[in-house]
Structure formats: C-alpha cells, structure tokens
Structure 1
Amino acid sequence: MKLSSLFILVCGNLALHVGAQQMPSAQFGAREFVQQVDLSPDGNRIVYLSAGAGKTSIAYVAELGAASAPKAAIVSNGTAGNLRWCKFVSNQRLICKVQGLVEDGEIIFPFTRLLALDIDGQNVTTLGQTSSRYDVKLRQFDGEVLDWLSGASDSILMTREYVPEIKRLDSKIYRPTDGVGVDHIDTRSLKAVRVESPVKNVDYFMTDGSGSVRMKAFQQRDPSSHLLTDRVNFHYRLRGEREWIPFSLWDKQAGMLPLHIDGESDSAYALKKLDGRMALYRVSLDGSLKTDLVHQNEHVDVDGLIRVNRNSRAIGLTYAEDKRHAIYFDAKYATLLQSLHRALPKLPMIDVLETSRNETRLLVRASSDSDPGRYYLYDVEKGALNELLLARPELENVPLASVQAIRYEARDGTSIPAYLTLPVGKEQASGLPSIVMPHGGPSARDEWGFDWLAQFFAHQGYAVIQPNFRGSAGFGDNWSKQNGFKGWSTSVGDVTDAAKWMIAKGLADPAKMAIVGWSYGGYAALQSAVVEPTLFKAIIAIAPVTDLELLKSDARYFSNADLVENMIGDGAHVAQGSPLRNVEKFQIPVLMFHGDKDMNVNVQHTKRMHKRLLDLDKFSEVQIYAGLEHGLDDSNARTQMLEKAGHFLKKNLNIK
C-alpha cells in the first residue's frame, strides 16, 4: 500500500490553521475543521463541512487530485440556521441539511430544511412540501432522505412531512394531506412521484437500499394524554407485496429494534436483548420472522452496524469495551481493514465513511487517543492511500496526551470503567492537580479516543479521569439501573469515588482536585458538592441540569413530557438530587457556562443556580452565550470558555 498526500488547501486556510501560533485555548477551543465529509458516486470529489470563524460553517467541494483549491458551495452564519451535513445526490448535485430555531415565548424548538444545490452552489431548491398561507400549523421538518438510490441521476427517495390546509368556505380547493409520506423526487426539477401516501400514524420508513420501502415505524401515544410513550410499533412487507404485517413492538426492554434491511438476503438486522445486553440478530422477512444470532458480547451492548456504499450495505458490527471493536462479516472488507491498520499503525481507530458506487475508492477517517483524526482516500485498485484533510489542524504540532482505559473500585466494591489522561511527560508523576470529568447523558458513555476538553486540561498539566459511572449506556441493564436521575445517588457516588481513587493512588493532590462536567456531567459536578462538600476545590459546570423538577417542567409543552416525567420520577430523590434545592451545602467556588438557546437544558437552570448561590453568599461566576445551543458550537465562545476555565482553576486550586 502506497501512502502519499493530496495537498488540499482551502483557500490557504488549512495552511494558516497549521502554521499559526495560537494560545492553547484557541487551539483546543476551535471547532473541528472537518465536521462531516462525503465522497461522490464516481469517487472523484469530496464535499466537506468545515468550521469557519465563530459559528460559521462552510461546505466545500474539492476535486481529488486537482491543482485547483476547493470551492465553497454553501455557507451558514449560525444565526439564520446551521448547516448539519452535505452529501452527494449525484456527481454534480448535493443535498444539505439546515437546522434553525423558532422561539415562542419561553419555548424554543428546532426546524430543519433540506436544500438541493449544484456542486458550484447554483440552482438551490428546497425539497420539502410547498408551504401555504393556509397551512394549519408550522411544518417543523421537511423530512429525511430515505434512500440515496444509485447516484446515477439527481433523484432520491425521501420522507416528507405534510401539513394540511384549512378548509375554507370561499374555495373548494385545499390540501387535506396530513402526516409523513414517501416521495421519489428529482432534486433538480422537483418532479415528485408519490410512493407512500402521507399518514398521521407513521414516524419513519425504511427501505432495502434499492428503493423498495419495506418497513414503517410508529411511536405509540398515551390514549388519554396523546403524549409519546417508549413503545414503538414496527411493521414490514413481504418482498413485492403492499400489505403491512407486524414485525415487533419495541420498548427498550423487549422486542426487536431493526437497524437495516438487507434486500439481497430478504432479512433485517435488528438489536434484541439477550442476558440483559443488546445483541445483533438477522431476522427473515419472508413471513416467518426467523431470527439468527449474529453476535453477542458478554460485557457490553452491540450498538451498531458498519455500513458502506450509498445503499448502506451492512458489512460488519461494532461495540465498545475498553476500546471500540469491529467484527466484519464481509471478507473483502475484513482484509481491506487489516491492510489499512498495517499502513496506519499509530491510528488504530479506522472507519470507512463512504465509498464510490463501484467501491474502488474509499473515504477513510483514522484517529487515535492522541490524534484528532485524518481523512484519507484509499484507491483499492492502485493500493494507494492519500491523506486529504486534518480534523483539527490547529493541534497538528501540539504534543497530545495518551489515554489509558482503567478501572477503579467504588464504595460498594463495584469495578467502574474509566479513562485516565495524564499530562505529556507526567505519566509517572504523583500529586498532580486533577480533574474528574463525568460525561453527559446520563444514558451515554465515554469511549477511548480523542476528547478536546480532556486534552486541553491535560495540556495545562491536569490529570483527567472520565468515569463510566453506573447509569451510563452500553453496559447492559445491570449497569444502567434506574438511570442517572432516579439513581443519582449511585451515579454521583461513582463519580466522587473516582476522585477518591485518584487520591488513594497518589496520582492526585487532594488540595488541587476539581470537577468539570457538561450537561448531565455538569449536574453531577454540582451535585457532588451537595454529597461531598469538601472533596473538590472547584466546580465547572457547562449547560448543567440544576433542578430535576424544573427539568420535568421544561418538557411540559412537548410530546415527550411523559417520557421525561417517567425518567426522573417522583419522590424524595427529586429534591435531594437537585443542586438548586441544596445550595446551602456548597462550600466551594462554582463557574458555569450556558447558551441561551439551549433546547436540551433550559438556560434557566444556570441562571437560577447562580442567583441562589449569590443569595446565600456563595462564590459563583456565570457566562451566558447569546444565540448558542447546548453544544456551544462557536469557536470564539469555546476559546473564551477554555481561557476563563483555565484561570478559574489556577486561582481556586492555587496553581502557580
């Protein structure tokens, strides 16, 4: 395999990113230079979404191997809307998804639009239903691309959200269609052919990858409140038939959750619980629903399929233990990935993101714990591997820390998996200033790999531990327990036990121990000061939940209100587990950050916490970012956040 480079410079910006002398807060705070990338059907072009200044995003199209610089096809400034992704419909045409926000009083909710455009940015069209002044409600979503088809034409198969018009007395003509349907659409002419008529009781459809709609899903609603439940009905069709027949009723504990339909074998890949963990099955779609176990892991959930080509053909499965693993059931790709691993021994995390239609060219991303990621084009026939782009060019010449998968013992003797990042050159040191950094969710998990926040703090000299506390996802039913809200005492106890383990091992200086968290991690950071008031010496909470009752109240205008209510529950644990209601126990300084357009956790959580701390003469600082959502997707804001966090920790941990 030949390893070379195709020097793609985005109007000089990439060279500027690599060569510029920047402060660490700017280097680590910059959003990923490459946020998403796709390969054209013929394998001769890529389109990639790149971070511009602040919260700007730019979709560039690059001719592979050409001397010309990539050209911008579309730009979003992050104010009217944000580009989420761009993909090729054909060699000459793209579809891009844009997300924006609508505010109605205290309520913020998203809307999305699908735009089709030529690779030079011309001939822009929207793919959703045409709006009317008589629509009975706002059309929140255009729909989703359901099947990218062959790429030989400008057509796709997409679900469309249809909104009916008001029936008027002055006209006999009105549009009654309501619900989600499927249309075959020419993205250039907008000529549409109805494939599935819109119906209200369908949330999404699935195809077999070759344009045939084989499955539909409907999330059940409570008959009295009409709010969503956690039960999803799946129905499927026999090959060549139109009648829908039951496939599964899924409720996260029972039933089958279909991931993909393989038209060639007339079967579906589905997840199903086995011994309390998710296992992957192949399910026959011939009417028998015969199931065959594909893979089960004894320790963690199987959590996904590995898919390639425009039809998302399944070639393997994946799961995460201490590190992420892949099992390929396609022999060609198993051999191919072995070759890539030999060619890139220092970049063990390798993913095939997309292929050309004939699968002779592969778009590959490779990364590690200490390398944020590099994008390559692999020419299968020539055996040539060409580097295209860097995920984070600002960090190209910055020494980055390695990450160890470790385990520590919780107070009840349970072994807790975690990741430990030690500063470069301090791998054998003791008595380090240290940070416990619980993840968000709570039904999520940390994985081995590059983490920009942990790496920033390690670069500043801190040892960082990231615990996968009980309540984390991916470890089966026995680990998720009641979830991190109902079972907050166990989850937060595991987080504080991580700090105690660091101290007991001699890694951490107990006088220089802080806790930093985002979202649920911010909640755990604040709640740790309620249950262990003197364990940490400083708290940084980013977009934190501060009041469980308020979190339930935030959902009251949305269809998932019952789901949030059930997740949090009722009882003494709600008040006891709300930092806002236990502020009198705080003895250490708090720094909080929050975007005022956060749809995940309302900014009122931070504002009320800050006010309550000040009312009781506690130390609190807060930074509210105007116009930003939960992820604070703005390079300037993230840079400022890291700068402020660094000064806060040094001051309050007494670090010279």
Structure 2
Amino acid sequence: MFRTLLLAVAAGAATAGAQTPAAPPPIEHFFENPVFTGAALSPTAQFLAVRIGAPDTRERLAVVDLRNNSVQVVAQFRDADIGDFRWISEQRLVFDSTDNQIGQADVDFGPGLYAVNRDGSDFRQLANRSGEIAVTPSSASRRQLLPWHTFLMEQLGAQDSDSIYVTSTHYDSRFEVAYVNLLRLDTKTGLSSIIVRPGNTRSWMLDHRGEPRIATTLDKNISAVHYRDPATGEWRKLVEFDAYKGGQPNFTPLAFGPDGTFYVLSRGNDDKTSVYPYDLAAGKIRAAPLVSLQGYDFSGSLITDNGRLLGVRHLTDAEATTWFDPAMQTLQKQVDALLPATINLITPAARPDTPNVLVESYSDRQPRSYALFDTANQTLNKVGDSHPAIQPAQMGSEQLVHYKARDGLDIPAWLTLPGSGAKKNLPMVVLVHGGPYVRGHSWGWDAEVQFLASRGYAVLQPEFRGSTGFGARHYRAGWKQWGLKMQDDIADGAKWAIAQGIAAPQRICIAGASYGGYATLMGLVNDPQLYQCGINWVGVTDINLMYTGHWSFTSDMTEGWKRYGMPDLIGDPVKDAAQLAATSPLLQAARIKQPLLLAYGAADMRVPLYHGNKFRDAVKAGNKDVEWVVYDEEGHGWALPKNRIDFWGRVEKFLARNIGKP
C-alpha cells in the first residue's frame, strides 16, 4: 500500500526489468548503490522512518504514518545524503550525513548531527560537518555547534525524551584516538554536558534505562572495563587484559537486560564465546551461559520490548533469532510461513501499541528486503528492496562446506555455484577475505560473489585459520602464519574443490582485497601450478612496509597496533626478519609469472599506494601480463558505483581471458 507512495517519493528508482533467462544480469544491477537502505519503527510502532534514494538524487529521510499510510520527507540535503538515523522519542529523530557521490580522497568533513520532528518541524543542526567553528542560526538561540568529531552511539538509548547520548572523539598529535568523551545532548536547545570518564575511554555502554553504565579504556596495550555505580556515580574497574592478545580473565560487554542484568561475552572454560550474566555485586561471571552457539563464537544482540527480554539475535552460518517469548516464537513461524525462501529477522518496537513489527528478509539469492507484518491481520506490507533489479532466479546458490587442512585443522568455507548450467568441472575463483583476523562471510546475498557466479564461475571463500567467529583455537592458529599455514589453508581449499569435481584444474584464479590481496600474491608464489591468475586490489605487498611506511603517504595503522599487536599476531620485524622476507610478495615478485590484475586507491590510508607501486615495478620486470589501475579518489575499497562497475568489468574480462570458457 504505502510502498507505492514511497516509490512515488523516490521517483525514478530502479526497478527490475524483463530479462532473458539465458542472459547474465547487467553489471550495474550488482554495483549501483542500493535503492532502499534502511527502516526503523518509532517507539510505539505508529510511524516508520525510512531512508530512500533514487538514481542521480540524494538520499532523503521520510516518515510513514502507519495510521493512514501517508508519507512525508522530513529531511534532505542538497550536497549530502542522509546517513545513520534513529528515533529518540515518538516525536523526534536524530540523524547524520554522508556523501555517496565522492570517494575517500574528497572527504573533508564529518557526518554532522541533526534533529527533526516526525512532521518535519523543529529542525536543528547540533554538530558541525567541518573543522571550522560554527554556530546554529536558530532564532531562539545562537550557540556554538558541537565539533565535527561528534558521533551517534550505536545504542538507541531510552527513546523517551528530547535528549540523547553522543560521543566526541579526541585525537592526539598523530591524529590517533586519545580518548572518547560521552555527552548528554538536548536536541531542542543544543546544550550538552560531559560525563566524567574513568580514563582513556574508547567505548561506552548505556544500561536498561538508557544511562551511562559501562566504559572501556585503553592504556598502551591494556584494556579495562569499568562500571559506574548508579548510586554514587563513581567508576570501579571490573577487569583488565591485553587488548591485542586477550588472555584470562577477559570478557566483552554485550548489553544490559530489561531487568538490569549485565550480560557479557566470554569463553569461560570453552573454546567458543558465549553470552553470560555478570554478577556486579560479586564481580564475577556466572557459571551458566544465557546463550551458547554450537560451533560458533557468539555475535549478536538482545531483543527487548516493554521491559521484557524477548530473545537474542545471533550469527551462526546465517543470521537467526532465538526467541525466549512464546508469542514471538509463534510470530516467527507465521512470518516464515509467508516467506519460506528467506531468512526473516523480526524487530519489534520499544513500546508497541500497534500490531506492526519490522521484518528484514534475505537469502543467498535475494538481497535485503524490508516489510511490515501486521500481527493482528496476519498481513505483510512491502516497504522496500535494497536491489530491486536483482532477480533471485538468476543468482547462484551458496552453502557452508568444511574441508581438512593438510595438518588436520577443520576449515569452514563458503561455496557458491552458478544458478544455471553445469555444477561440476567449473572455472573457479578462490576469493580470500581481508582482515585477516575477522570473519570473512556469512550466508547471504553478496554483490561480488553473485556477480562472479552470474558469469559462470564457482566461488570458494575459505575461513582460513586466523579467521574469527569459529573459536579461539581456530583464531590463534593463524598468528604469525601470513604466507605460511594460512596460505596452505587457502590452497587446500582449492585442491578440495578439484577433488570434489567442482573446480576444473588449470581454471582456478585467486583473488582478494587487503589481506586477501596479499594472500593472492603469496598464492601465486607458493602454488604456481594451482592458480592460473591473480586479482589483487588494495592488497598488502610487504609486511615490513606496514611498519616502516613511506614519507609521502599517511597510514591509519596506530602506533599501539604496530608496537603491541603486530609483532605477536603477524611478525616481529627484528626477531622474525627471515620469515617476513620469505613471505614478502614484494621480495618474491620475480617468481610470479601468472597474469595479474592490480588495483589500488590513491587515497588509501590502510594500505597506501606505495604498496602497489613498489610491487608493480618489481613484478613487471619479469611478467609482461600485468594490468594496473589506480582510482584517484578512492581509499581502501571502492566507494563510488562508477569505480565498482569499472573494476568488476575489468575483472570479468580478465577472468574470461585466463580461465573463462574456451
């Protein structure tokens, strides 16, 4: 019903056109910016805030009145797009800005901070977007705006007043984070007050009443969790540990439950992280976990309404919800019956007095889609699709597989096969995730993976040792294994795919960004008979370069990470000098003879351009099949659709030449 109204507001939005089943979808369908990018119910579920966009227009903030399905745009910019947004009460929203039309090189402002009523009235700027001192032009008062480094918290807060908590990040002389202040901000007057912090605070957490209760500090390499006593306002330390290497005792704050219970993430005596209640009076973690996930570290959040703990949202192979509330269990079954082909994530409002809940749906073949479910009438009302031009029937199928590394370690991996045609003896891309100490992927639609599958390639994404989310043993097994056992895990995945009859020998290409780019180059060095080509974008080309840098470029790697983290997790430049030389793509460049596609961003601060320049010059001395591209305005990845389309168009042609169908 109101979807028609939303589409009218977003006039010109892309829609799915008729496609010949045999024709692959156009590249633009994968790499244009999403058409619909978010929705949020008001605290009572009477209104829905949405961020809507259309080709060649700025994203706007609109509010749908669910009582009569009317739609009103309440905020928009001429020179920017709406960024994050959230309800702070039934009447008022806060939001910041972003710019989807520029790359990293052209970003010279912060997100700002703004507030507006749901009917578009009482608009107020609260924080500046630039480094200049600015004042609000409000006729009621002329007050200095908060500085550009003022940011929204991830937590929603109490959602019951015109005031919110925001963070203010302060930087040292090297422009590294020194500490993060917490401010209580009145969105009507612009007045703010600072919460006393317990040290060099890096993160904050609000309790079940929306008040500051937990602060995490960092002093050199020591991280500490502090608790603020609600009676005295004084801070006391709960635990401290090595921020980079972990160790016991150790836990990560998760949330406060509606009854005031403090929940934390801890491994306890197990290999996997679980959710535990923490006894604040006794100062220890309770013995029995609230939630444990078989085979996975816990990653997720609590779901509450009206002072009740309804369930827990978490990630295993895909996102899912464990409901404690019987009514929500029944509701989940009702929604799943209406949408049997997708994962359906239900989000209730904070204090609902209408039967509406928000449903976010997706699958391996379907991008994110949003709808409202009326629990009284048992009806679904579509709100918007992130990529409406994508036709699920044309997408590939994805599954989580496992194989054994050569030393016996179990390696999870994501295998995506083309949606049509042969399922065996396929050309394959081994796509290596960045990080590397992160989880690489989860089950669901991915533009890059599905683009490759739509062109007839199998895609294998290994969660090699060092990847997080699969337990401490799997994670720690990757320490100091760049180019060594981590690399073997990736190669063993390609060999597994050949043995299973999935991948055609002599038709495998390795590819990846950041650490994945490093692994691409080392794969070509270590296993020249296995990989016929390589695609590296924004990839590290030498570990020592991450330590030493270059006078002409600025890196965003902190001195703390270089001093306390990298020597133990990656390698010490002095103690491990021989290993770092043997596992340097730059120093081993003469051994790479396979065709290469190299792409970098000129404004990259994570892996600055000198990584690419030095390696390009070294490899070209003995390899004439090297394609090189630099996107001047981009940073560590491609922010602009035109560059994503250009790069993946190059990838398509490169793969077709080297492992494509004869």
Shift of 1:377: 1.1
- Aligned AA for 2:218? Q
| Alpha carbons 1:433, 1:461 under 8 Å: kept | yes
Shift of 1:390: 0.7
2:296 to 297, 300, 308: 300
| Alpha carbons 2:83, 2:95 under 8 Å: kept | yes
Equivalences for residues 60-75 of structure 1 within 5 A: 60-64=61-65, 71=73, 73-75=75-77
Q: Which residue of 2 aligns with 1:233?
A: 224
1:430 to 413, 424, 428: 424
Distance in 2 (CA, whole Å) between partners of 1:314 and 1:14 is: 40
| Alpha carbons 1:440, 1:517 under 8 Å: kept | yes
Q: Which residue of 1 aligns with 2:33?
A: 31
- Aligned AA for 1:234? V
| Alpha carbons 1:471, 1:487 under 8 Å: kept | no
Distance in 1 (CA, whole Å) between partners of 2:414 and 2:428 is: 13
Distance in 2 (CA, whole Å) between partners of 1:564 and 1:57 is: 41
Distance in 2 (CA, whole Å) between partners of 1:5 and 1:35 is: 17
Q: Which residue of 2 aligns with 1:632?
A: 638
Secondary structure of the 2:529 match is: coil
Q: Which residue of 1 aligns with 2:140?
A: none
Shift of 1:643: 1.2
Give the 3 Å change call, closer, same or farther, for CA 271–526 of structure 1 in structure 2: same
Q: Which residue of 2 aligns with 1:184?
A: 184
Distance in 2 (CA, whole Å) between partners of 1:214 and 1:405 is: 39
- Runs of 5+ consecutive residues of structure 1 not aligned to the other structure: 165-177, 222-228
Give the 3 Å change call, closer, same or farther, for CA 620–283 of structure 1 in structure 2: same
| Alpha carbons 1:361, 1:378 under 8 Å: kept | yes
Q: Deviations over 1:114-169 (max 9, x none)?
A: 333455497341247998879xxx967214437644434322123344799xxxxx
Q: Which residue of 1 aligns with 2:217?
A: 218
Q: Deviations over 1:293-340 (max 9, x none)?
A: 2233452212222334599967315241x4444323344433322322
| Alpha carbons 2:65, 2:71 under 8 Å: kept | no
Distance in 2 (CA, whole Å) between partners of 1:146 and 1:421 is: 32
| Alpha carbons 1:108, 1:599 under 8 Å: kept | no
Give the 3 Å change call, closer, same or farther, for CA 462–53 of structure 1 in structure 2: same
Q: Which residue of 2 aligns with 1:275?
A: 270
Shift of 1:595: 2.4
Q: Which residue of 1 aligns with 2:113?
A: 114
Distance in 1 (CA, whole Å) between partners of 2:35 and 2:493 is: 33
Structure with the bigger percentage of strand:
1
Q: Which residue of 1 aligns with 2:17?
A: 19
Q: Which residue of 2 aligns with 1:493?
A: 488
- Aligned AA for 1:628? E
Q: Which residue of 2 aligns with 1:406?
A: 401
- Aligned AA for 1:458? A
Q: Which residue of 2 aligns with 1:202?
A: 201
Give the 3 Å change call, closer, same or farther, for CA 438–417 of structure 1 in structure 2: same
User: What root-mean-square deviation, in Å, do the aligned CA atoms of Structure 1 and Structure 2 show?
Assistant: 3.5
| Alpha carbons 2:417, 2:457 under 8 Å: kept | yes
Shift of 1:275: 1.9
Mean Cα deviation higher: 605-614 or 275-284 = 605-614
Q: Does 1:316 align with 2:312?
A: yes
Q: Does 1:655 align with 2:661?
A: yes
Q: Does 1:142 align with 2:150?
A: yes
| Alpha carbons 2:590, 2:621 under 8 Å: kept | no
Q: How many residues align?
A: 617
- Aligned AA for 1:598? D
Mean Cα deviation higher: 491-500 or 241-250 = 241-250
Secondary structure of the 1:337 match is: helix
Secondary structure of the 1:393 match is: coil
Q: Does 1:151 align with 2:147?
A: no
- Aligned AA for 1:565? M
Q: Which residue of 1 aligns with 2:137?
A: none
- Aligned AA for 1:233? A
- Aligned AA for 1:88? W
Equivalences for residues 331-350 of structure 1 within 5 A: 331-347=326-342, 349-350=343-344
Shift of 1:477: 1.7
Equivalences for residues 65-104 of structure 1 within 5 A: 71=73, 73-75=75-77, 84-98=83-97
Distance in 2 (CA, whole Å) between partners of 1:541 and 1:486 is: 19
Q: Does 1:390 align with 2:385?
A: yes
- Aligned AA for 1:208? D
Q: Deviations over 1:592-648 (max 9, x none)?
A: 222222233223222322222223344211222222232312222111112111011
Mean Cα deviation higher: 197-206 or 398-407 = 197-206
Distance in 2 (CA, whole Å) between partners of 1:424 and 1:100 is: 35
Mean Cα deviation higher: 269-278 or 545-554 = 269-278
Distance in 2 (CA, whole Å) between partners of 1:312 and 1:518 is: 43
What is the percent sequence identity of the aligned residues? 25
Mean Cα deviation higher: 627-636 or 7-16 = 7-16
Shift of 1:546: 1.4
TM-score computed with the length of structure 1 as normaliser: 0.84
2:597 to 591, 596, 600: 591
Shift of 1:444: 2.1
Shift of 1:260: 0.6
Distance in 2 (CA, whole Å) between partners of 1:308 and 1:364 is: 15
| Alpha carbons 2:590, 2:618 under 8 Å: kept | no
Shift of 1:354: 5.6
Shift of 1:15: 5.3
Distance in 1 (CA, whole Å) between partners of 2:374 and 2:510 is: 46
Shift of 1:290: 5.1
Give the 3 Å change call, closer, same or farther, for CA 412–560 of structure 1 in structure 2: closer
Q: Deviations over 1:381-435 (max 9, x none)?
A: 4333211111211203661111122222322333322121111123x53221111
- Runs of 5+ consecutive residues of structure 2 not aligned to the other structure: 135-145, 173-177, 549-554
Q: Deviations over 1:151-208 (max 9, x none)?
A: 34322123344799xxxxxxxxxxxxx964443322122133x362366532232221
Distance in 1 (CA, whole Å) between partners of 2:485 and 2:415 is: 21
Q: Which residue of 1 aligns with 2:562?
A: 561
Q: Which residue of 2 aligns with 1:369?
A: 364
| Alpha carbons 2:602, 2:634 under 8 Å: kept | yes
| Alpha carbons 1:308, 1:352 under 8 Å: kept | no
Give the 3 Å change call, closer, same or farther, for CA 288–48 of structure 1 in structure 2: same
Shift of 1:511: 2.5
2:437 to 433, 443, 450: 443
- Aligned AA for 1:509? A
Q: Which residue of 2 aligns with 1:244?
A: 235
Shift of 1:501: 1.7
